């Protein structure tokens, strides 16, 4: 089968479309004929040599795919050949085929395009586990989402609104903020023109955000604490800022605040399966009835994977970028 490899870490042109051996199928695994693969920031880090696939998994990039089941293991009970599914992977999505344990896959509802479904499961799992399972966002609370127009951001806006929360976002342009508004964001902050902490406090009458979903990391931590409500929770899911964090511990203590940093890729299988099960039960119905949709920025062929990575690194995209075999 074809797969997009990184033979030598480097820029986008380090991605190489090659031929690899077909992966084996275990008793609880399903094989998918891939319809599309989602592009994520983790793939950029892997291409640069900073974030390899976990041992024992496919060593080429790709954390999520959609496709049709072409083979099932002897003990599979959730799916049958021909079923449309999307799947969470630890690696190996950039290929014609993918193999995944059935507990890390979700059925794709008839209401959702199969290719678009490739942009569904990684963001759903990330947002649901951090914002709802870990931070416990409640109806009536305020969620601040950094990077509101990203794949994670557009997912978080929709899920939080469906759960009855108030949503604030940061983004770097009026056009991106317009997209966030259309998805349901209430408070729109241009981080290039405004101090997001001051703007949020003004918009919330000084209360701040109950939950902050942060993709920037250290560079934002002090201001995140300033923007935090009493008993607030800061969920750090990426470190795109690449800076060490310095903050006044007393300010966090005075707010009885919490900082929780997580990743998804390297979690134990049991934890990821539990997250997918929660998404299946509580979020997938919103996909099935059309109230939630992944926002798709663009589609690229496998041959143009380098351009897909350039698009992501430019930060000009809104929503998910997909690779289509």
pLDDT of residue 241: 72
CA distances from 258 to 86, 104, 288, 309 (A): 33, 29, 34, 34
Largest CA distance in the chain: 59
Which residues of the chain, if any, have pLDDT below 70?
A: none
User: Which H/E stretch holds residue 308?
Assistant: helix 305-314
pLDDT of residue 247: 83
How far apart CA 34 and CA 5 sit, in angstroms, is: 16
| SS3 at position 95 | strand
pLDDT of residue 47: 98
| Residue 180, both tokens | 């966030």
Domains contained in the chain, CATH given = 2-120+265-324 (3.90.180.10), 124-261 (3.40.50.720)
How far apart CA 323 and CA 309 sit, in angstroms, is: 10
Q: What is the pLDDT of residues 82-109, one digit of tens each?
A: 999 999 999 999 999 999 999 999 999 9
pLDDT of residue 264: 94
- Assess contact for 312 and 39: CB atoms under 8 A: yes
The conformation of residue 123, written as its DSSP 8-state character, comes to H
> Closest by alpha carbon to 124, among 310, 288, 308, 278?
278
- Please name the residue that has the structure tokens 């794949």: 151
> Closest by alpha carbon to 5, among 40, 49, 35?
49
């Amino acid at each position: 089968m074809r797969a997009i490899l990184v033979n030598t870490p480097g820029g986008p042109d380090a991605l190489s479309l090659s031929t690899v051996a077909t992966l084996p199928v275990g008793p609880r695994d399903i094989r998918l004929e891939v319809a599309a693969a989602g592009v994520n920031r983790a793939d950029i880090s892997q291409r640069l040599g900073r974030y390899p696939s976990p041992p024992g998994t496919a060593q080429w990039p790709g954390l999520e795919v959609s496709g049709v089941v072409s083979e099932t293991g002897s003990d599979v009970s959730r799916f049958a050949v021909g079923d449309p599914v999307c799947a969470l992977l630890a690696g190996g999505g950039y290929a014609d085929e993918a193999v995944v344990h059935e507990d890390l896959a979700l059925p794709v509802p008839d209401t959702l395009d199969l290719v678009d479904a490739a942009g569904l499961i990684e963001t759903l799992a990330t947002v649901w586990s951090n914002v709802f399972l870990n931070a416990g966002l409640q109806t009536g609370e305020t969620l601040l989402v950094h990077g509101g127009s990203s794949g994670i951001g557009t997912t978080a806006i929709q899920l939080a609104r469906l759960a009855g929360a108030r949503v604030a976002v940061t983004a770097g342009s009026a056009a991106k903020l317009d997209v966030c508004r259309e998805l349901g964001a209430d408070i729109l902050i241009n981080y290039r023109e405004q101090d997001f902490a001051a703007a949020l406090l003004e918009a919330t009458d000084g209360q701040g955000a109950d939950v902050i979903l942060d993709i920037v990391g250290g560079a934002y931590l002090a201001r995140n604490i300033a923007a935090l409500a009493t008993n607030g929770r800061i969920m750090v899911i990426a470190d795109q800022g690449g800076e060490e964090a310095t903050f006044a511990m007393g300010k966090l203590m005075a707010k009885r605040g919490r900082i929780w940093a997580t990743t998804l890729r390297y979690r134990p299988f049991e934890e990821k399966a539990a997250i997918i099960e929660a998404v299946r039960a509580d979020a997938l119905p919103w996909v099935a009835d059309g109230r939630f949709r992944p926002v798709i920025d663009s589609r690229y062929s496998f041959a143009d994977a380098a351009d897909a990575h350039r698009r992501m690194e430019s930060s000009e995209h809104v929503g998910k970028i997909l690779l289509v075999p």
